[in-house]
Chain A
């Protein structure tokens, strides 16, 4: 397939890995900040291709995994209201909240429908005028414009039964929070390809400038990732941290202006709660006042149970890159994709699920 096969070329992958091994002399820690990268790195065995000087860590890049239990509890509580249809992306279904999951709520009788697009959620609203349709808006900047688009469209059509539970998050404040914590020293960041397609590279300049961290935006095929690693290693070896794009076919430095304008018109930034990182100022997106009537959080009153974490689950530390999934005592024992304890094992992009599926044993 065009734009995919060329970037999976095994020969090019091997030669890029050789090149990296020749260039890399300094011990370097690289963190990927996108669940899609975590999966691609594990699936393609990229860690094993890299020299021992390079350590790869996974960060809080899976939107489902970083969603706080209290937010999942809210979605489940909304699902229990009469005459409500919950629409959600499939990833959210199995994620455990404090006491239940949307999947369990569905088994217990709630009307919960998986949609592929926010367009489908609007269609459910048009088809069911007597019911309230709530879309569970979880995701990063890649997804945020599609939620904004649905809200604008609902307004235009005067769809009075469409709501969004807006739990969208923005990645740059979380990266900064992680760097500020200083728990682990990171030399380079593999910046998220499709988030950057929307937001552009501007927000990363501060990481290179203020924190001395090399930043390269990467695509999702093995050649893309190795290219990004090569560029990061070159920056680190030269002692010249900056922001570069490896994924030039998919990312422009300024991002997608149309999408940014739309987000700007529909959302205000707000504090948001991240699993593992806690409350981070300005890291969430909330509907602006002029769209308040679509805000499920305002329109419906639900009483939430006190949030709690699954005992023994170390997802928080996994998401901060402090431990690898293999560092959790429950990994592959009590916790597996069939019997997941934390969200990092449930989501297909979660680090624990990726490690489980693609079988890394050495951490």
Chain B
């Protein structure tokens, strides 16, 4: 029930935004994420963006994991 999926904001009008969900456009509320901008990915939960996804953190996590699994191998 706490399911939330990453979607990309394509346009903003007040506290509403259009997001792209697998090629389909949908209007959602960004009232909980006033900092959201066009082009951001947000976590969408029951019609509301609940957070702006941090793209840099996502990349850092992936880089960190790559380094981590590599460092451990051959021990």
Determine if B10 is an interface residue (Cβ-Cβ < 8 Å). no
Contact assessment for B50 and A89 in the assembled complex, using a CB-CB cutoff below 8 Å: no
7 A–B contacts, CB within 8 A, in A order: A4-B6, A119-B29, A142-B50, A146-B48, A248-B60, A249-B53, A250-B53
> Which of B1, B5, B32 is close to A62, meaning CB atoms less than 8 Å apart?
B1
Interface of A, secondary structure class, is: helix
Name B's A-contacting residues (CB within 8 A): 1-6, 8, 22, 29, 31-34, 41, 43, 45-48, 50-51, 53-55, 57-58, 60-62, 65-66, 68-69, 72-73, 75
Contact assessment for B58 and A34 in the assembled complex, using a CB-CB cutoff below 8 Å: no
Total number of A-B contacts with CB less than 8 angstroms?
Answer: 134
Contact assessment for A22 and B1 in the assembled complex, using a CB-CB cutoff below 8 Å: no
Residues in A whose Cβ lies below 8 Å from that of B72: 18-19, 22-23
Question: Apart from A63-B2, A139-B2, A192-B2, what 8 extra A-B contacts exist at CB < 8 Å?
Answer: A3-B6, A6-B58, A36-B1, A143-B1, A143-B45, A227-B61, A249-B61, A258-B34
Contact assessment for B54 and A117 in the assembled complex, using a CB-CB cutoff below 8 Å: no
Residues in A whose Cβ lies below 8 Å from that of B47: 116-120, 146
Contact assessment for B32 and A256 in the assembled complex, using a CB-CB cutoff below 8 Å: yes
Contact assessment for B1 and A139 in the assembled complex, using a CB-CB cutoff below 8 Å: yes
**Number of residues from A at the complex interface, CB < 8 A:** 56
Q: A4 vs B58: C-alpha distance in the bound complex, in angstroms?
A: 10
Name A's B-contacting residues (CB within 8 A): 1-4, 6-7, 12, 15-16, 18-19, 22-23, 34-36, 62-64, 89, 91, 116-120, 138-140, 142-143, 145-146, 149, 192-195, 197-198, 220, 223, 227, 230, 246, 248-252, 256, 258-259, 262, 347, 349
Contact assessment for A15 and B73 in the assembled complex, using a CB-CB cutoff below 8 Å: yes
Contact assessment for B53 and A258 in the assembled complex, using a CB-CB cutoff below 8 Å: no
Interface of B, secondary structure class, is: mixed
Residues in B whose Cβ lies below 8 Å from that of A192: 2
Contact assessment for A249 and B54 in the assembled complex, using a CB-CB cutoff below 8 Å: yes
User: Contacts A3-B41, A146-B45, A197-B43 known; A36 to B3 CB distance under 8 Å?
Assistant: yes
Contact assessment for A118 and B65 in the assembled complex, using a CB-CB cutoff below 8 Å: no
Q: A230 vs B69: C-alpha distance in the bound complex, in angstroms?
A: 11
Q: How far is the CB of A209 from chain B (nearest CB, A)?
A: 25
Q: How far is the CB of B7 from chain A (nearest CB, A)?
A: 9
Contact assessment for A197 and B4 in the assembled complex, using a CB-CB cutoff below 8 Å: yes
> Which of B46, B54, B57, B62 is close to A89, meaning CB atoms less than 8 Å apart?
B46
